[in-house]
């Protein structure tokens, strides 16, 4: 009977040890998911900051371009309407979306704005007074730099989402991630034609420079 009691105690001790190990492993996995989720949100905030920077440049750009004689009003209207459409998409700027359809709606609105801006810059090439306008040149350079930062921020965001999604789908975290509120997060999809962005040639001051519009 005494041996039986010792055996039960040994088994109980082993079970307790296993539970402790599992608890430590679970806590480590939880902390990792929290860290990765926060990383996704941080990258999302960077995406938002860069898109907002682009949106802030547009009013000055439109005002500068509209000063050109006989500039195509439909092009300006398209840009202002596209910018307004982006503002109508309600999305949390601090927390990355978990609804793929919401991210797709946001991406579509931003893509339409990218297209409208690209067309505006192409049309601007036909107006010599804009080519000699220092304010326009500055805004064009800022816009180009912002588009590049947007592309980098989106790539960093996708990388963060990939690391997060891979973790919550891996064993053993897949067993309890959902119960703890960790949901899969969607990616930015590649924009059709993004692999070969159109080159817009600007001949400012007699020098040639090419702008690739990233969407």
Residue whose C-alpha is closest to residue 61's, from 181, 143, 169: 143
Measured CA to CA, the distance from residue 203 to residue 121 in angstroms comes to 12
Tokens of 213: 């519009």
Cβ contact 41:98 at 8 Å: no
Residue whose C-alpha is closest to residue 39's, from 168, 188, 156, 172: 156
3-state helix vs strand vs coil in the chain, percent to 5:
70, 5, 25
Look at the block and give the residue holding tokens 């082993």.
14
Cβ contact 212:117 at 8 Å: no
Cβ contact 183:83 at 8 Å: no
**Which SS3 state, helix, strand or coil, does residue 138 take?**
helix
Measured CA to CA, the distance from residue 80 to residue 85 in angstroms comes to 9
Query: In this predicted structure, what is the pLDDT of residue 72?
Result: 84
Cut 0.75: pTM above it = yes
**What beta strand segments (E) does 44-198 contain?**
none
Return per-residue pLDDT of the chain as tens, 215 residues.
565 556 666 676 676 766 555 555 556 688 999 999 999 999 999 999 999 999 999 999 999 998 887 888 899 999 999 999 999 999 999 999 999 999 999 999 999 999 999 999 999 988 988 888 999 999 999 999 999 999 999 999 999 999 999 999 998 888 889 988 999 999 998 765 443 443 433 333 433 434 444 43
**pLDDT tens for each residue of 149-167:** 999 999 999 999 999 999 9
Long-range contacts of 123-127 (CB under 8 A, 24+ apart): 123/71, 123/72, 123/75, 124/65, 124/68, 124/71, 125/200, 125/201, 125/202, 125/203, 127/68, 127/69, 127/71
Measured CA to CA, the distance from residue 138 to residue 95 in angstroms comes to 33
Tokens of 92: 């949390």
| Distance from chain centroid for Cα 59 | 23
Residue whose C-alpha is closest to residue 30's, from 175, 184, 159: 175
Residue whose C-alpha is closest to residue 30's, from 212, 135, 147, 181: 181
Query: In this predicted structure, what is the pLDDT of residue 16?
Result: 72
Query: In this predicted structure, what is the pLDDT of residue 190?
Result: 77
Query: In this predicted structure, what is the pLDDT of residue 212?
Result: 42
Query: In this predicted structure, what is the pLDDT of residue 71?
Result: 84
CA dihedral over 166, 169, 175, 181, signed as positive or negative: positive
Tokens of 149: 């930062």
């Amino acid at each position: 009977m005494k041996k039986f009691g010792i055996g039960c105690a040994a088994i109980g001790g082993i079970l307790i040890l296993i539970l402790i190990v599992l608890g430590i492993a679970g806590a480590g996995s939880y902390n990792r998911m929290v860290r990765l989720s926060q990383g996704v949100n941080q990258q999302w905030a960077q995406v938002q900051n860069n898109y907002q920077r682009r949106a802030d440049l547009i009013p000055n750009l439109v005002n500068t371009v509209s000063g050109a004689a006989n500039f195509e009003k439909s092009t300006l209207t398209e840009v202002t309407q596209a910018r307004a459409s982006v503002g109508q998409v309600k999305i949390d700027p601090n927390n990355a979306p978990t609804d793929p359809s919401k991210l797709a709606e946001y991406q579509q609105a931003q893509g339409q704005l990218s297209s409208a801006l690209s067309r505006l810059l192409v049309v601007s090439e036909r107006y010599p007074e804009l080519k000699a306008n220092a304010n326009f040149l500055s805004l064009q350079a800022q816009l180009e730099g912002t588009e590049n930062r947007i592309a980098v921020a989106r790539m960093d965001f996708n990388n963060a989402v990939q690391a997060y999604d891979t973790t919550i789908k891996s064993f053993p975290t897949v067993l309890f991630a959902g119960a703890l509120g960790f949901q899969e997060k969607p990616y930015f999809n590649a924009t059709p034609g993004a692999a070969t962005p159109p080159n817009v040639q600007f001949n400012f001051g007699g020098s040639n420079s090419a702008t690739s519009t990233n969407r």
